[in-house]
């Protein structure tokens, strides 16, 4: 069964949970973001740290996919991935990216634009060591984004990684690590009635951040 065209066209919510006023915002978008992230966690949003990462390839084609935010501090928004993946190669050629968080239960969205840089090997290794062993082995087993013949190939590669490392520690692969997004803009969006949503955007300036309201 599929939704009818009428059902699909009729799907909508009128947002009414809360307003977002300029006075509610912290002067620092990182503090504001971490406040909203914590509220999404308390509201039991599934994977509140999931964010859509958009990158641009050499032909100007944008690509998007979800990754998990692992650190958000004054340096930026950090996630971890395979450097040889499609996104890893795209960011190698074009450092401009965008991030989107959608917290439906709170009727909130956050949009970030900025530029990426790799985290240090020490930072990547420190995070890699906190991952479950099977995820560490998965990072060795999967040439992320490459076409594979079938699931059995992946499972064989995983078994080979298990055999290779035995009971010992699984080291950080050279092809795996973090990227940190240094924000240029951060927009906080709160759904409101009649589509008159609140949109407040921080723009980085030489001396700090300027905040402006955008039309919904």
Ligand X SMILES: Cc1cc2nc3c(=O)[nH]c(=O)nc-3n(C[C@H](O)[C@H](O)[C@H](O)COP(=O)(O)O)c2cc1C
Identified binder of ligand X from the candidate list 26, 41, 66, 164, rule CB under 6 A: 66
Other CB atoms within 10 A of residue 209 CB: 19
Closest by CA to 33, choosing from 169, 189, 206, is 189
As a dihedral over the C-alpha atoms of residue 157, residue 162, residue 165, residue 170, rounded to 10 degrees, the angle is: 90
Kindly report the backbone phi and psi dihedral angles of residue 75, in degrees, each rounded to the nearest multiple of 5, phi listed first.
-85, -25
Kindly report the backbone phi and psi dihedral angles of residue 178, in degrees, each rounded to the nearest multiple of 5, phi listed first.
-100, 160
Nearest approach in angstroms of CB 137 to ligand X is: 15
C-beta closer to ligand X: residue 70 or 182: 70
- SS3 of residue 118 by DSSP: strand
Stretch that binds ligand X, among 16-24, 80-88, 115-123, 151-159 (CB under 6 A): 80-88
C-beta closer to ligand X: residue 78 or 201: 78
Kindly report the backbone phi and psi dihedral angles of residue 13, in degrees, each rounded to the nearest multiple of 5, phi listed first.
-120, 150
| 124 near ligand X, rule: CB under 6 A | no
| 135 near ligand X, rule: CB under 6 A | no
Q: Do 99 and 111 form a contact (C-beta atoms < 8 A)?
A: yes
| 36 near ligand X, rule: CB under 6 A | no
Identified binder of ligand X from the candidate list 20, 30, 87, 114, rule CB under 6 A: 87
Nearest approach in angstroms of CB 90 to ligand X is: 8
Catalytic residue among 151, 195, 199, 213: 195
| 144 near ligand X, rule: CB under 6 A | yes
Helix, strand, coil share of the chain (percent; to 5): 35, 30, 35
| 18 near ligand X, rule: CB under 6 A | no
| 195 noted as active-site residue | yes
Instruction: Name the residues annotated as catalytic.
Output: 195
* Chain positions contacting ligand X, by CB under 6 A: 47, 50, 63, 65-68, 79-82, 85-87, 144-145
């Amino acid at each position: 069964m599929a939704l009818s065209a009428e059902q699909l066209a009729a799907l909508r919510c009128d947002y009414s949970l809360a307003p977002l006023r300029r006075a509610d915002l912290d002067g620092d978008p990182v503090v504001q973001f971490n406040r909203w992230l914590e509220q999404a966690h308390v509201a039991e949003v599934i994977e509140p740290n999931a964010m859509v990462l958009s990158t641009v390839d050499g032909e100007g084609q944008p690509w998007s996919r979800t990754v998990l935010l692992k650190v958000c501090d004054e340096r930026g928004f950090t996630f971890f991935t395979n450097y040889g993946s499609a996104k890893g190669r795209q960011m190698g050629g074009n450092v401009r990216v965008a991030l989107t968080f959608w917290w439906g239960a709170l009727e909130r969205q956050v949009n970030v634009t900025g530029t990426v840089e790799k985290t240090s090997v020490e930072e990547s290794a420190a995070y890699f060591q906190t991952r479950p062993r099977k995820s560490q082995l998965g990072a060795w087993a999967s040439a992320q984004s490459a076409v594979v013949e079938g699931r059995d190939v992946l499972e064989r590669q995983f078994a080979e990684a298990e055999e290779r490392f035995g009971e010992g520690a699984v080291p950080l692969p050279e092809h795996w690590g973090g990227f940190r997004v240094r924000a240029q803009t951060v927009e906080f969006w709160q759904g409101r009635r009649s589509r008159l949503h609140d949109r407040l955007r921080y723009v980085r300036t030489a001396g700090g951040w300027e905040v402006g309201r955008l039309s919904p």
